[in-house]
Structure 1
Amino acid sequence: MFGNVYNNKKVLITGNTGFKGAWLSLWLKQLGAEVYGVSKDIPSSPSLFEITKMESLVKHTFADIRDLNKIKELIHEIEPDFVFHLAAQPIVKLSYDDPIDTMSSNIMGTANVLEALRVAKFPCTAIMITSDKCYENVEWEWGYKETDHLGGKDPYSASKGAAEIIIKSYYESFFKDSDSQIKIASVRAGNVIGGADWAANRLVPDMFRAWSLGETVPIRSPHSTRPWQHVLEPLSGYLKCGQELYLDKKYNGYAYNFGPNSDQNKTVLELLEEIAKYWEVQKGADMYELQENNSFHEAGLLKLNCDRALQHFNWKPTLHFDETVAFTATWYNNYYNNTAIEMLAFTNKQIIEYVTNAKNRNNEWAK
């Protein structure tokens, strides 16, 4: 799987204490990588980082990616073979509460990682993770391609569009030459769900937080459609992109979308009703309350075209909607309602099960 390119390699993950970063850390450990992490804090409590005692599994440093000197120092000391840059302010609503913090983290943080790589004296393959919100969303029904316009109506989307422009500028200015030791690609995904996400103002974490307390969860924009995907889906794409870029420089400088199958496009209400079936404690209509009054702009429809990832890497998603729901809901149900389950082992088991599903469906990246 992934051609064993990560085995015995040094991999630095920025934002490793976050939801996606922690799952990626565990997967890379399974692949035999020597995992390093840098994050400014642990963004939620509980968190997968704390639950799995990940600080004993990876070499972690608490630092802010907006501190250019510290990021330069870390990358110089580690000399990673790979960098996966995930550190960011990831919540749309928080971008309205504090737009400057969002801009500085998502724009200058990205620029700092790229600048630290620019002055590096060793070869490195860097996967720069942004978001599907980087696209100028005009609510059309077909998927956005990597060549479509960047932009956004909210500060979060604007920060992600700007990060993409900065990534492209560093590639064109510093990493494009054939003798460059640094290879980069940007990757875009969105509406990722899965066990161990406890971010504020995010649908699935809000649901399970409320239900664990026996409370009713308010659901805004219940009829908005999202391309729901399990966290392991885009991570498989990031890892595949890293593998191929490491092996072949012809992929240097490209951007890639990693989205779900078309049957994953479901409304918020449809997702809620399916997930609720797996909750063993609270049942019935009092589990949620539908609301239609949003105080801030959110896209009603957002979908990605992943043809480039298919053409370049033979990458395609694995899970169907019911499997995405089952992976997500059983993780939370076990965490909250089944104390006999050891969550590090269960999380690793889900990664193995996901890879097995991919192999059984003849996904090229899983071979």
Structure 2
Amino acid sequence: MEDLVMASHSNPDPSFWAGKRVLLTGHTGFKGAWLALWLDRLGAKVVGISLPPATTPNLADLAGIDGLIDSRFTDIRDADELLRQTRSASPEIVLHLAAQALVRTSYRDPLLTFGTNVQGTANLLDAVRVTGTARVVVAITTDKVYRNSEQFYPYRETDPLGGHDPYSASKAAAELVIASYRDAYLAGSGVAVASARAGNVIGGGDWSEDRLIPDAVRAWSTGQPLVVRRPQAFRPWQHVLEPLAGYLTLAERLWAKPELAGAYNFGPPTQEAASVRDVVLLAKRSYGGGEVVWGEGGEGPHEAGWLALEIAKARHVLNVAPRWSLQAALQRTLTWYRRQQAGSLAHELCAQDISEFEADAPRDMSA
């Protein structure tokens, strides 16, 4: 009976999150800011740990995140300070998003990338171990943790890990750290630990460098052409609210059933993986125009050419399934930017997208 009741919640459950003490790392990043907004909407008591925002503009500042949660600037590579902040927060649930998340940046600064993504993750899990208040940890990695064979094959949670570039390798190594802390320490202490591997996310409020949609908005809004390095690369694109809903649902399920701890993929159906060229053309249509300069695919350091995820586990175990098609996700994303540029408030634009995402939840995802 418990399973049936829990499975009926296709949206995050406000009655679960209300009053929960949540430690959210990476709250000044793109995904972290969206998640902070959603957690505040759900009534959670959130402490955010992150570096200051990396770009100007940025969603955290525009949406007033520091007025909604307890925002603390801390480098997760500083183990002593991270432990102090974790003890102060006394979290019941930890959502770990803090990371160096850019492939090309990882080539420029591999030590920063490994230090943040591997040692930083170990520092956080050790702080959770020592503090002893958390019941659930959801640590976010990436779809790029898999040893990529460049085959037309959707990767499953049981497939081998690997990584050519420092970013991918650091996230694969973080997965080993997560599994080690879960098995060696936290599971035996009653803490359910899961990793979440999500595909490429899009949505309003991302101004990161070397990301396709932010690059397109920057170029087209100033009358410049978008330069596309690898138009034939395939990725599992999804709106940012899709994986965030998965993370929240995963935390809810782990609270009730810690035996569900493990790795989970979150992404679109395999058949909806799309090329960069297709995404750019759809984005151009949604934006209302814009010039594009197509590269030959050989510019810059190595990046995976084809990547897709198998999401059957999330669908069957968590009752999580994609809601918005790629076209719908791009339409909402580009509309967000156009409206924000026209003067609409970022907080209100995000709240509207969250409301519409919740309203689009299917009544029965078991079919």
Q: Same fold (TM over 0.5)?
A: yes
Which secondary structure does the structure 2 equivalent of 1:5 belong to? helix
Instruction: Note the C-alpha offset of 1:261.
Output: 2.3
Aligned residues: 354
- 1:173 is aligned to 184
Q: Distance in 1 between matches of 2:300 and 2:287?
A: 29
Match of 2:207 among 198, 211, 217: 198
Match of 1:318 among 298, 307, 323: 323
Task: Write the deviation string for residues 19-77 of structure 1: whole angstroms up to 9, x where unpaired.
Answer: 00000011111111112101122111111101111111110000100011111111111
- 1:362 is aligned to 364
Match of 1:335 among 336, 340, 346: 340
Kindly report which structure 2 residues correspond to 1:178-193, keeping only aligned pairs within 5 A, or say none. 180-193=189-202
Unmatched 5+ stretches in structure 1: none
Instruction: Note the C-alpha offset of 1:182.
Output: 2.0
Instruction: Note the C-alpha offset of 1:123.
Output: 3.5
Aligned partner of 1:94: which letter?
T
Instruction: Note the C-alpha offset of 1:190.
Output: 2.1
- 1:211 is aligned to 220
Task: Write the deviation string for residues 82-131 of structure 1: whole angstroms up to 9, x where unpaired.
Answer: 11100000000011101111110100010000000111232431100001
Match of 1:273 among 277, 281, 297: 281
Matched, 1:353 2:364: no
Instruction: Note the C-alpha offset of 1:266.
Output: 1.2
Task: Write the deviation string for residues 113-172 of structure 1: whole angstroms up to 9, x where unpaired.
Answer: 000011123243110000111110101212111110001111111101100001111111
- 1:136 is aligned to 147
Q: Distance in 1 between matches of 2:31 and 2:45?
A: 18
Match of 1:16 among 5, 22, 27: 27
Q: Distance in 1 between matches of 2:105 and 2:281?
A: 27
- 2:229 is aligned to 220
Matched, 1:261 2:269: yes
Instruction: Note the C-alpha offset of 1:363.
Output: 4.1
CA root-mean-square deviation:
1.3
Aligned partner of 1:224: which letter?
A
Kindly report which structure 2 residues correspond to 1:104-119, keeping only aligned pairs within 5 A, or say none. 104-119=115-130
- 1:296 is aligned to 301
Kindly report which structure 2 residues correspond to 1:77-156, keeping only aligned pairs within 5 A, or say none. 77-156=88-167
Give the fraction of aligned pairs with identical amino acids, expressed as a percent: 40
Instruction: Note the C-alpha offset of 1:362.
Output: 3.4
Is contact 1:124-1:183 (8 Å) kept?
yes
So what's the TM-score if we normalise by structure 2? 0.94
Instruction: Note the C-alpha offset of 1:263.
Output: 4.3
Kindly report which structure 2 residues correspond to 1:17-56, keeping only aligned pairs within 5 A, or say none. 17-56=28-67
Q: Distance in 2 between matches of 1:345 and 1:66?
A: 34
Q: Distance in 2 between matches of 1:198 and 1:208?
A: 9
Is contact 1:263-1:321 (8 Å) kept?
no
Instruction: Note the C-alpha offset of 1:188.
Output: 0.4
Match of 2:254 among 235, 245, 253: 245
Is contact 2:77-2:120 (8 Å) kept?
yes
Which secondary structure does the structure 1 equivalent of 2:361 belong to? helix
Task: Write the deviation string for residues 286-326 of structure 1: whole angstroms up to 9, x where unpaired.
Answer: x1100123221111111111111122112111111211111
Aligned partner of 1:120: which letter?
T
Matched, 1:235 2:244: yes
Is contact 1:263-1:320 (8 Å) kept?
no
Is contact 1:16-1:38 (8 Å) kept?
yes
Unmatched 5+ stretches in structure 2: 1-10
Q: Distance in 1 between matches of 2:214 and 2:316?
A: 34
